[in-house]
Structure 1
Amino acid sequence: MLNLIRRDVILQKKLILLFVPFALFFILLDAHPILTFFIASIYVPFNAYAYDEKSDVNILLNSLPYTRKEIIAARYLGALFFMAAAIGLSSIAMLLFSKDFSAIDVGMGAGAFLLFGAVTFPLFYILKQGYITASLMFLIVIGAGIGPFIVRMAGENLTAITNFFTQTSDTILYSGAAIIAVVFYTMSWIFTTFIYQRKAF
């Protein structure tokens, strides 16, 4: 299974070399650390899925001595590995450029990635190939544009929700958010495995 993760590194070695300038772009633009960590985290996993979508590599993968469950596990575990590496490199870069960030920013960026992965990874096995990458890029741009506005409007108009967040300790809020993200990611992993085991190639 580790060989499947290594395969992603080998196939994307040129794109991985572009990771540092890609992350630096957001850092030098003074993007919020959470956004920087999130964008950095999706860079390799998203490109891996996009590459496989174009080359229809699933036929090849299913001819290798790996079960379908192992193939999906490599995808989800590999995404966690690449997320950790991306956040680590981004953190080092932000320290070198004297950009402030906190452990909460790291956690929120990782949580955002887990939720993003939980929603999007199954789509590569459900939707028709050729439209997935473009659709997800569109959703990312739209989400980044209107997401903060929706959160702000909800905070201003939904008093009960605002009171709940202001009266609950930060530790409970962040712990709850982390648990929710992990649960969604795990459920997505199980769901994707179920879909992939029944998919014909």
Structure 2
Amino acid sequence: MLNLIRKDLIIQKKQLLMLLPLIAIFAIFGESFSPIFIFSIISVFIPMNAYIYDEQAGADFLLNSLPYTRKEIVAARYLGSIFYIPVTIAITAGALYLLQFHFTFKEALIAAMLSLLTVSIFFPLLYLIKPGYIGVAVIIGFVAGVILIPRLAGFFSEYLMELNELLASLTQVTLYTGSAVLLLLVYLFSWGASTIVYQRKKF
């Protein structure tokens, strides 16, 4: 299964060379960008790009002909994300530090958690979507998010205020520990859902 994780890195080595110039562009010309946004965008690049590359290349047919079970194929995707996201954030942090772009450890940690949450949401959906429709689905999801999120935020503003008061009453240790446990549960649920979908998928 380690070979499946290494595969994503080997296949994308040329694309990975683009990350450092991209980080430099964000750091030099993107002073208005939040460090959390920069960390999040860069850190999800490998997991999401690896899936899209496999889908475009029809790699699922090849993977299913190799001596790997479908559970192992999905597990490699999720375990790879757990490895690649922190490593990419560490590289991004080093590059931003050298470029004198101010950020905090807290912002890097929040970005890592958001990236894992993004992977948790998108992977099961990507396994459900038919090949060739991923790009359309991403665009529709983005447009729907832009339209719906402000309206939902306004609708739930009263509840959000109560939630903010509750969160403000918690210590940072309690808040981060609770968030990490919740994220772990969501990630494991996503992993299980993706495994079920992938096992039933026909190629």
TM-score tier by shorter-chain length is: 0.7 to 0.9
Query: 2:39–2:111: 8 Å Cα contact kept in structure 1?
Result: yes
Residue 136 (structure 1) aligns with: 138
Instruction: Please give the per-residue CA displacement for 1:42-75, whole angstroms capped at 9, x wherever unaligned.
Output: 1111111111121221111000011111111111
Distance 1:180 1:157, change over 3 A: closer
* TM-score under structure 2 length normalisation: 0.87
Q: Which moved more, 1:111-120 or 1:143-152?
A: 143-152
Q: Which moved more, 1:108-117 or 1:76-85?
A: 76-85
Where 1:37 maps in the other structure, the secondary structure is helix
CA distance in 2, matches of 1:46, 1:78: 11
Residue 56 (structure 1) aligns with: 58
Where 1:128 maps in the other structure, the secondary structure is coil
The unaligned stretches of length 5 or more in structure 1 are none
Number of aligned residue pairs: 201
CA distance in 2, matches of 1:13, 1:151: 40
The residue identity in structure 2 corresponding to 1:13 is K
The unaligned stretches of length 5 or more in structure 2 are none
Query: 1:35–1:109: 8 Å Cα contact kept in structure 2?
Result: yes
* Structure 2 counterparts to residues 106-117 of structure 1, below 5 A: 106-117=108-119
Query: 2:96–2:102: 8 Å Cα contact kept in structure 1?
Result: yes
Residue 15 (structure 2) aligns with: 15
Residue 178 (structure 1) aligns with: 180
Q: Which moved more, 1:97-106 or 1:78-87?
A: 97-106
Distance 1:149 1:200, change over 3 A: closer
Distance 1:144 1:47, change over 3 A: farther
Post-superposition offset of 1:138: 5.2
The answer to whether the aligner puts 1:3 opposite 2:3 as a matched pair is yes
CA distance in 1, matches of 2:129, 2:169: 42
Residue 71 (structure 1) aligns with: 73
Residue 102 (structure 1) aligns with: 104
Query: 1:53–1:124: 8 Å Cα contact kept in structure 2?
Result: no
Query: 1:114–1:185: 8 Å Cα contact kept in structure 2?
Result: yes
Post-superposition offset of 1:100: 2.1
CA distance in 2, matches of 1:36, 1:169: 27
Of residues 180, 188, 191, the one that matches 1:189 is 191
Query: 1:114–1:182: 8 Å Cα contact kept in structure 2?
Result: no
% identical aligned pairs: 39
The residue identity in structure 1 corresponding to 2:177 is S
* TM-score under structure 1 length normalisation: 0.88
The residue identity in structure 1 corresponding to 2:35 is P
Instruction: Please give the per-residue CA displacement for 1:76-127, whole angstroms capped at 9, x wherever unaligned.
Output: 1111221122101100011112222222112110110111011101122111
Post-superposition offset of 1:36: 1.1
Query: 2:23–2:96: 8 Å Cα contact kept in structure 1?
Result: no
Instruction: Report the aligned-residue RMSD.
Output: 2.5
Query: 1:37–1:90: 8 Å Cα contact kept in structure 2?
Result: yes
